[in-house]
Amino acid sequence: MLVLAVDTATSAVTAGVVELASGPANPVRTRAARVAYGARSHGELLMPAVLDACAAADTPLRDLDAIVVGTGPGPFTGLRVGMVTAFALADALDVPVHGVCSLDAIAADAAAAPGGRFLVVTDARRREVYWAAYDEQGGRLSGPHVEAPAALAERLSALKAVAAAGGSAGLTGLPVLEPASPSPGGLVTVAADAVRTGRSDGPPQPLYLRRPDAVAAGTRKRVSAP
């Protein structure tokens, strides 16, 4: 199966074409990946990255069998770009779309390295971080959460983590693991069973973890007649 994987939950705008094997042994092979950086340019960067990855993989969009999208946690605007693009492509191509937690995708790539529990930590802006805790196989133990780095630091001894991955891993003081952002292979690895079976728990839902800055205008006050 040929799968398009996209993620815009971090400042890295990621797109790639991944070949998914029919069985669990050696399940994913990345044919092409493109990563561009721009915390406020997700909309401008994503589709060119998708088209470039497909061209490099010699895979026309019409040959894709499924789409996997990172659902965050991430800032509202950037995350929405990736998810809307994934839904639009899936509808146009008549293929299923599967969502995965972007922190889980980072953990899938980092799992072999630490030899114990580890964290995935990414930038949430507003002087906060998104984080989740994982066992050495990459299974999520806690999270995702959003809070200040100082609050996370107070939890470190209880979490018993020996390392951290993700773009804000350095704030923990733990040894830093790669990757800093989700890879196409990591995204598809997390979604592999659902992609193979076609199983769906409904449309993917974004993990914002907090309310957007923009709010609907309230009711206008009535002006008294002079």
Rg (CA), the chain: 19
- Residue that wins the pLDDT comparison between 85 and 221: 85
Q: How confident is the model at residue 214 (pLDDT cuts 50, 70, 90)?
A: very low
Mean pLDDT of 61-85: 95
**Helix 102-110 and helix 184-197, axial crossing angle in degrees, nearest 10:** 110
Residue 173 has pLDDT above 70, yes or no: yes
Taken in order of first residue, the domains within the chain and their CATH numbers are 2-101+183-197 (3.30.420.40), 103-177 (3.30.420.40)
The percentage of residues in the chain with a pLDDT greater than 70, rounded to a whole number, is: 91
Structure tokens at 200: 């769906």
Q: Region 56-72: what's the mean pLDDT?
A: 97
CB 129 within 8 A of CB 171: yes
Q: Do 53 and 15 meet the contact criterion of CB atoms below 8 Å apart?
A: yes
Q: Is the Cβ–Cβ distance between 68 and 19 less than 8 Å?
A: no
Mean pLDDT is highest, among 27-31, 183-187, 202-206, for 183-187
DSSP string, 47-83: HHHHHHHHHHTT--GGG--EEEEE--S--HHHHHHHH
Average pLDDT over the chain reads 91
Model pLDDT, residue 132:
98
